[in-house]
Structure 1
Amino acid sequence: MRAVIADGAGGPEVLSVAELPDPEPGPGEVLLQVAAAGLNRADLLQRQGFYPPPPGASDIIGMECSGTVAALGEGVTGWSVGDEACALLSAGGYAERVAVPAGQLMPVPAGVDLVTAAALPEVAATVWSNVFMVAGLEPQETLLVHGGAGGIGTFAIQLAHQLGAKVLTTAGTPEKRAACAALGADVTIDYREEDFVAVVKESTDGHGADVILDNMGAKYLDRNLDALATEGRLVIIGMQGGTKAELDINKLLRKRGAVIATTLRARPTAEKSAICASVVEHVWPLVAEGLVRPVVHGTMPLAEVAAAHALMESGAHSGKILLTL
C-alpha cells in the first residue's frame, strides 16, 4: 500500500509517500480501505518528534480517516465488507489501508459524503467527550472556545450552539471571526487586539464562562481562570502555548472551579469505543439533519502531504484539511 513515511523528525519536508506492507486486521479489528484522512495538530507534533504513537500502534501518522470496509478480523460483528465508515485512530491514517478496532469505527452520517466524513471522527469525539461528557456543558450555560476557526473550534461552536449554550470564541482575523459567527458563535473575540477575559465578563454580565475549551495550555492558564465562572470547568486539550505555568490555587478555590487536562489518543480502546458510541447516538443525528456540519478548508492528494502540513502550520486555514487517496 501507499503510505506516508517520515525521514526522521523535522519540518514538512521529511514527509514522503512510500510503498509499505498492507496491515492485517487482528481479532476485533476491521481493515479499512481509506478514502481520505484528516490532519490534526497532533500530527505536526508527531512529525517533529514530540508526540510518538501509543505503544503497539503504527508509526504511520494519522488519527482519523474514512473509507470502505475491506476485511473483518476474528469476532467482528455488525460490519460487512463494502460498508462505508469513518474511524477514530491511534495512528495509521495517512495510508491506503488501516486496521481499526471495530468499536472505533462509526457509520458515515446521512448526508455526508465519504471523503468529507474523514473530517468528523477526531473533532466530534474530542468535542463531545470533553465539552459534554467530561465538563457537562448544560443548555443556557456559556462556553468559551479558543481557536474557534480550527477543526475542533468550528465543531465545538456548532454543537454547543445547537444544544442551547451561549458560545464565545477567539479567532485571529476578521474573516475567521465572521466564519465563527456564521456557525453560531454569539460573540467573537480578536485575541490579537482584545483582552478575552474582559470580553467574556462583559458579554456575560460578569458571570464568566461556565466551560472553557482550551488548546493553548500554559500561556492562557491564568487568564482562563480569570474568565472562568463560579463552579466553571476549564478543559485543556492542547499545549500550543507551552506546557508549564503557575497555577493560582487560591483563585481556583474562590471560584470552586475545576481544571481538567485530557487526551484522547492514548486512552484504552474500550474508552475510545464508548466515546464513539456516544458520538453516534448523540451527535450523528444533528449532523444528519444538517444542524452540525464538518467544515473542510480543502482536500489535497496524499502525495502533497508536506504541503498540507505546511498549510496547517501556517494557520491560514479554517476548518479541516483532508488528504485524499
Structure 2
Amino acid sequence: MHAIVISRPGGPEVLEWQEVPDPRPARGEVLIEVAAAGLNRADLLQRQGYYPPPPGASELPGLECSGVVAEVGEDVEAFKPGDEVCALLAGGGYAEKVAVPWEQVLPAPAGVSLVEAAALPEVACTVWSNVFMVGRLRRGETLLVHGGASGIGTFAVQLAKAFGSRVVVTVGSAAKAARCLELGADEAIDYREEDFADKVQADVILDIIGAKYLGRNISALAPGGRLVVIGLQGGAKGELDLGMLLGKRASIHATGLRTRTVAEKGVIVRGVGENVWPLVSAGSVRPVVHEIVPMADAAGAHRMLESGEHIGKVLLAR
C-alpha cells in the first residue's frame, strides 16, 4: 500500500507518499480500507519529532480515519467486511489501509458522508471524555472553550448546546467568532481585544493553551468549577494560585487520549456511540470541515493547519 511517511523530523516537506508494507489485522483488530483521515495538531508535533507514537503503535501519522472494513481478525464479532466505519487510532491513518482494535471503531453515522466521517472520531472522543466524563458538564452550566473555531472547539460548541449548556468561546478573528455563533455559541470573545477572565465565570473550561492561560483560567472558574487541560500550546509550566483554587473549591484535570489503553479508549468510544452518535445522525451535531485535501498532499494540509486560518477540520482523502 501507499502511506505518508515522516522521512525525518522537520517541516511539512518531510511528509512523503511512499510504498510501505500492508498492515495485517491481529487478533481483535479490524483492517480498514481508508477513505479519509483527519488532521490533528498532534500530527504536527509528531512530524517535528516531539510526539512519538506510543509503544506498539504505527509509526505513520494519523489519529483518526474513516473507510470500509476490508478484513477482521480473530475474535472480532462487532464488524464485518463491507461495513462503513470510522475509528480512533494511535497512529497510521495517513495510509490506504490501517489495522485498529475493534473497540476503537464506530459505525459511520447516518447522514454524514464516509469522507466527512473522518472528521469525527478524535473530536467526538476528546469532547465527550473531557467535557462530560471528566468535566461533568450539566444542563444549565456554562462551558468555556478555548480555540472555539478549531475542530475540537466547533464540536464542543454543538455538543454542549445539544445537552442544554451555555457556551462561551475564545477566538482570534471576527470570522471565527461569527462561525462559532452560527454553530450555537452564546458568546464569542476575541482574545486579541478582550480578557476572557473579565467576561465569564465558567463551570467547565476546555483548555488547549496550558501555562499561558493557567492563572486567568482559575480566575474565570465559577465556584466548584472544573478546568480540563488537553493541550499545551502556551507552554507546560506555570504558576498556580492554590489559594484561589481552594477558595473556589475548584479542580484541575490534565488528560491525554493517544496513550490510553485500548480498554480505556473502548469505554470512551462506547460512550460516544451511545450518547453522541444519535445527535450526529439527527443533524443536531455535525462535522465542520474546512477543506478536503488529497492524501498525497499531506504537506499542503499541514501548512494549512499550521497557518491557523482554518475553521473546523482539515481532512486527507484518497
TM-score (norm 2): 0.99
Report the Cα distance in structure 2 between the residues aligned to 1:134 and 1:122, rounded to whole angstroms: 16
Report the Cα distance in structure 2 between the residues aligned to 1:46 and 1:217, rounded to whole angstroms: 19
- Helix, strand or coil for the counterpart of 1:212? strand
Give the corresponding residue for 1:58. Answer: 58
Q: Number of residues paired by the alignment?
A: 318
* Offset, 1:70: 0.3
Give the corresponding residue for 2:259. Answer: 266
What amino acid is the match of 1:157? V
- Helix, strand or coil for the counterpart of 1:34? strand
Report the Cα distance in structure 2 between the residues aligned to 1:311 and 1:267, rounded to whole angstroms: 29
Aligned: 1:130 with 2:130: yes
Query: In the TM superposition, what are the counterparts of 1:155-174 in structure 2 within 5 Å?
Result: 155-174=155-174
Report the Cα distance in structure 1 between the residues aligned to 2:49 and 2:226, rounded to whole angstroms: 31
Report the Cα distance in structure 1 between the residues aligned to 2:193 and 2:26, rounded to whole angstroms: 52
Report the Cα distance in structure 2 between the residues aligned to 1:195 and 1:324, rounded to whole angstroms: 39
* Offset, 1:251: 1.1
Query: In the TM superposition, what are the counterparts of 1:42-191 in structure 2 within 5 Å?
Result: 42-191=42-191
Runs (4+) of structure 1 exceeding 6 A deviation are none
Aligned: 1:222 with 2:215: yes
Give the corresponding residue for 1:239. Answer: 232
* Offset, 1:6: 1.0
Aligned: 1:302 with 2:295: yes
What amino acid is the match of 1:289? A
* Offset, 1:303: 1.3
What amino acid is the match of 2:66? S
Give the corresponding residue for 1:210. Answer: 203
- Helix, strand or coil for the counterpart of 1:62? coil
Report the Cα distance in structure 1 between the residues aligned to 2:30 and 2:57, rounded to whole angstroms: 15
Report the Cα distance in structure 1 between the residues aligned to 2:76 and 2:7, rounded to whole angstroms: 35
Aligned: 1:319 with 2:287: no
Report the Cα distance in structure 2 between the residues aligned to 1:263 and 1:48, rounded to whole angstroms: 19
Report the Cα distance in structure 1 between the residues aligned to 2:78 and 2:234, rounded to whole angstroms: 42
Unaligned 5+ runs, structure 1: 201-207
TM-score (norm 1): 0.97
* Offset, 1:121: 0.1
Report the Cα distance in structure 2 between the residues aligned to 1:173 and 1:268, rounded to whole angstroms: 38
Report the Cα distance in structure 1 between the residues aligned to 2:7 and 2:186, rounded to whole angstroms: 45
What amino acid is the match of 2:279? L
* Offset, 1:248: 1.0
Give the corresponding residue for 2:35. Answer: 35
Give the corresponding residue for 1:204. Answer: none
What amino acid is the match of 2:246? L
Report the Cα distance in structure 2 between the residues aligned to 1:136 and 1:116, rounded to whole angstroms: 28
Report the Cα distance in structure 2 between the residues aligned to 1:62 and 1:89, rounded to whole angstroms: 7
Unaligned 5+ runs, structure 2: none
What is the root-mean-square deviation of aligned Cα atoms in Å?
0.5
Q: Which moved more, 1:4-13 or 1:17-26?
A: 4-13
- Helix, strand or coil for the counterpart of 2:199? helix
What amino acid is the match of 2:231? G
